[in-house]
Amino acid sequence: MIKILVDRTKPTTEEIKRHQNFETILDKASINETKKILPWYYGAVGLASFIFAIVTILL
Amino acid sequence: MAVNLLYHQNEFRLEDEMRQIEIAKKDPRQFAPLYKKYHEAIFRYVYKRVDEEEAAYDITSSVFVKALASLPRYEFRGVPFSSWLFRIAKSELYQSFRDKKAQRTVSLDSVTIVQFIDELNEDFSEEQRTTLLNSLKLLKDHQLQLIEMRFFEKRSFKEIGEIVGLTENNAKVKTFRALVKLKEIFNRTKA
């Protein structure tokens, strides 16, 4: 259900500025990026280890 | 109609912004000036659509996290950076509504209500005001979005189109249809 608010108090520019936190944005964005990379990273490392083990056994 | 200065930037400023984006793509720390520039506009866009201030700050924060993470894929294809951010904000808002982290809200002020009742070719009265507020609740969300952006936030059709992913002309046609629909509901509710 939609809620309608009339003449609601608006935070001032100063109040909004106080909520700016670029470091948090940076951290969260890099965590998200790491999460995205991790499965591929482990997959690649796993595959490389597997190939290395096969080659070692064969030699 | 009020002019949105962050949207209607001159060519020099847009070029400067593009340079800033390219630098930020290589070094995320350089995204800070863009974050500072658009934080308030995005917050106000979100705040008008949710009922709790804290939820609005959280959603605004997630908009910039998403924007920063997706920045390497951002390319200027005629859609200004501000509209790209508003698109992300729109999608984050709807995700919050789906996750029930925020309540879909329409924020209006009394002056806008009087102006909008005039737009519907009606005379203002307390009864008309109540009818309008009830009618807005009965609109489909995509129609409400267009009415909100055009009549309550005074955005141009070009900007509306860029935010919702329509051409300027289509945004105009669909906003007009939404207004017709609202008039229909308004008259039905009044009767």
Closest by Cα among B55, B13, B50, B67 to A22: B67
Residue A44 structural domain: 24-58
**How many whole angstroms separate alpha carbon B90 and alpha carbon B79?**
15
**How many whole angstroms separate alpha carbon B35 and alpha carbon B31?**
6
In this model, does residue B122 exceed pLDDT 90?
no
What pLDDT score was predicted for residue A36?
57
End-to-end CA distance of chain A: 69
| CA neighbours closer than 13 Å in the CB half-sphere of residue A33 | 15
- pLDDT, one tens digit per residue, over B44-60 is 999 999 999 999 999 99
Q: How many CB pairs (< 8 A) connect A and B?
A: 81
pLDDT band at B6 (very low <50, low <70, confident <90, very high): low
- pLDDT, one tens digit per residue, over B76-121 is 877 789 999 999 999 999 999 999 889 999 999 999 999 999 988 8
Check A10 against B47: CB less than 8 A apart.
Answer: yes
Answer yes or no: are the C-beta atoms of B81 and B34 closer than 8 Å: yes
In this model, does residue B133 exceed pLDDT 80?
yes
Q: Give just the sign of the alpha carbon dihedral B175, B14, B5, B106.
A: positive
This complex has an ipTM of 0.84
Chain A residues in contact with B136 (beta carbon < 8 A)? 2, 4
Check B36 against A8: CB less than 8 A apart.
Answer: no
**How many whole angstroms separate alpha carbon A20 and alpha carbon B39?**
7
Question: Quick check: is A51 in a domain?
Answer: yes
Check A22 against B36: CB less than 8 A apart.
Answer: yes
Domains and CATH numbers, chain B: 11-98 (1.10.1740.10), 110-190 (1.10.10)
* Overall number of domains in chain A: 1
Check A11 against B47: CB less than 8 A apart.
Answer: yes
- pLDDT, one tens digit per residue, over A10-50 is 999 999 999 999 999 999 888 766 555 566 777 888 889 99
- Residue A22, chain B, CB below 8 Å: the answer is yes
